[in-house]
Structure 1
Amino acid sequence: MKLEADTHCHTIASGHAYSTVVENAKVAREKGLKLIAITDHGPSLPGGPHFYHFGNLKVLPRVIENVYILRGVEANILDYDGRLDLPERYLKDLDIVLAGFHTYCYPGGSVEENTKALINAMQNPYVDIIVHPGNPEFLIDIDKFVEAAAEYDVAIEINNSSFTVSRRGSEENCLQIAKKAKEVGAKIAVGSDAHICFDVGFFDKALMVIKESGIEEQNILNVSYLKLIDYLKEKGRDFSFVKEF
C-alpha cells in the first residue's frame, strides 16, 4: 500500500524536533508524497510554540518542493472535558487539527476518565484526527472510543513513531484499535509523527498493523491526498487553492 500524504509532521517549532518546513517538504518530494501536514505541538507542551505561531502559519506557502503543505497543530488534550490548549479562534483557521494525550499536559486518569476525555475532544468540531490513542500510559476503553470516532466522523491515527521511538508498548493496543476500526468502519489516518525530516513518509511499522487488522484502503484517508482533502472539506475547511497534480 502506498500513501500519498503524511498527516503528522513536526518542525523545530515544536522545541524537540530538528528539521524545518522546507527540509520536511524536500524529503516528502523525494519519497513521492504529494502532501504533508505541519502539525507542531500546541503551546502547553514544554518547548511548544506560542499561540502566535499558529496564527502566523498563513505565511507558509501552500506548495513547497511541489508538495502541498497543510497548516495544522497537534493540540494537547488538557482534561477529562476534552479541552484543547489552542483557542477556537486559532483552530478555525487551520487546515487540520490533531488532538491527543501528552505527558505534562494531561493529568492521566482511569480508563473511564481517559475515554471520556477523548470522546469529549472528538465532539469539538475542529478536531479531525485523534493521535496515538494506543499509548499504554493512557489506557482507554477501545470499543467505546472507536465507536465514538465513527459516530463523530473523527479519524483515528495509526502512528508509526509509536512502534519505533515513542510510546513503547503500544503495539497490542494499536492492533486492537485497528481491528475495531475495521469492524465499525471508522476512518484511519496513518501518520509518521516525524520529528526529523528523514522520518517524513516513513509508515512501514504502521502499515504492518493496518495489514494485520485487515483495514481496507477505502477506510484510510491518506491513500490519496485528494481523499484526505475531501474529508477535511466535508468538515468545513477551505481548500479552493488545491489543484490536482
Structure 2
Amino acid sequence: LKTREELERIDTSLQVFLSAEIELADDRGTLECEHLEEMKEVLDFISAAPHCKHVLPRIPKGRDPIEYCHEMLVNAAKNPDIDLILHPWDAPRELLWSLEDLPEGYLREFAEAAAENGKCVEVSNCFSHLWVWRSEGLKESYGLLVKELLRARVKIVVGSDGHSLRGRYVEGYGMTPPTLCDTSWAVQLVKSCGGGDENVGYPRRGLQQGD
C-alpha cells in the first residue's frame, strides 16, 4: 500500500505499473503467497517467479527435476491468478546447462500454454549475467525460448531483474555481482530472433487498470 501511495504522488507522463515477484511453490503452478487476494487488490498485475533452484529441495524423490520444473511453468501459464511469468528456466547449472538439453517440445508446450491463456512472459536481462549458478550455455541458448514465444504470439515483457546495486548473498552459491537496471541484452536478443514492437506488451489486467 505504501508503494502504491508513493506511485500515485509521482508526477510523470510515464505509465507505471505495480507488481510483485511471487514465488511459484510447486509443479501445479501454485503461487507461494498467503495474502493473494489482498495483493490482487493492490497490484496492477501478478508476476510469478519460477526459480528452479528454490524448488529443487521440494521435488519428491524419484521425480525428474527437469520434468517437474517444466510442469511448474506450464501450469503457471494455466493459473488464472497469474498475469506475467518472469524469467522462465532460470535454472542452476547443475540442473540445466543449456535449453538445448531440454526434452523436445518442452519450450513449445510452455509457449503455447502461455498464448492460450493470455499470459505475458518476461525475457530477462538476468541471463546475460553469468551469476554463480547460471551457465554460459543457458545464455547462449535462450533464443530458442524467445523464438517459440514469438511463434506462439506471446506478448513479451523485457525486464532487467535489477535487484541490487551491491550484489547479494545466495545460500549455497555465494555472492552475486551487482545487477543494474539494464535491458539491452534482452532487447537485442528479442530483435535477433525476429521480434519487434508488435511483440512487446503488458499483462491485460495491468492495461485495464492503467488506462
Same fold (TM > 0.5): yes
Which ranges in structure 1 are unaligned for 5 or more consecutive residues? 1-54, 222-227
1:182 shift after superposition: 1.7
2:151 to 158, 183, 187: 183
Contact 2:23 2:32 in 1 (8 A): yes
1:172 to 121, 140, 150: 140
1:106 shift after superposition: 1.7
Equivalent position SS for 1:92: helix
Q: What is the letter of the counterpart of residue 128 of structure 1?
A: D
Query: Which structure has more RCO (C-alpha within 8 Å, separation ≥ 6)?
Result: 1
Contact 1:134 1:171 in 2 (8 A): no
The 1:81/1:56 distance shift into structure 2, 3 A limit, reads farther
1:94-129 CA distance string (max 9 Å, x none): 112211222664236533221211122222223121
Equivalent position SS for 1:106: helix
1:164-193 CA distance string (max 9 Å, x none): 254343323421011111222111110011
State how far apart, in whole Å, the 2-side matches of 1:158 and 1:189 are: 6
1:62 shift after superposition: 2.4
The 1:194/1:155 distance shift into structure 2, 3 A limit, reads same
State how far apart, in whole Å, the 1-side matches of 2:67 and 2:54 are: 18
Contact 1:135 1:173 in 2 (8 A): no
1:214-225 superposed matches below 5 A: 214-221=194-201
Identity of paired residues, percent?
24
Contact 2:50 2:89 in 1 (8 A): no
1:199: which partner in 2?
180
Q: What is the letter of the counterpart of residue 106 of structure 1?
A: V
Equivalent position SS for 1:81: coil
Contact 2:77 2:110 in 1 (8 A): no
1:90 to 38, 57, 66: 38
- Calculate the aligned-residue CA RMSD, in Å: 2.6
1:39-50 superposed matches below 5 A: none
1:186-238 CA distance string (max 9 Å, x none): 111100111247833x21111121122111221111xxxxxx37x3356xx52
Say yes or no: does 1:115 pair with 2:62. Answer: no
2:125: which partner in 1?
160
Aligned length: 176
1:116-171 CA distance string (max 9 Å, x none): 11122222223121111132436562111111111111111110122125434332
Q: What is the letter of the counterpart of residue 80 of structure 1?
A: D
1:83 shift after superposition: 1.1
The 1:172/1:56 distance shift into structure 2, 3 A limit, reads same
The 1:104/1:136 distance shift into structure 2, 3 A limit, reads closer
Where does structure 1 differ by over 6 angstroms across 4 or more consecutive aligned residues? Answer: none
1:1-245 superposed matches below 5 A: 56-62=2-8, 64=10, 66=12, 67-86=14-33, 87-93=35-41, 94-102=43-51, 105-107=54-56, 109-137=64-92, 141-164=106-129, 166=131, 167-169=134-136, 170-196=138-164, 199-200=180-181, 202-221=182-201, 228=202, 231-233=204-206, 238-239=209-210
Task: Give the number of the structure whose residues are more often strand, by fraction.
Answer: 1
Contact 2:123 2:186 in 1 (8 A): yes
Q: What is the letter of the counterpart of residue 152 of structure 1?
A: N
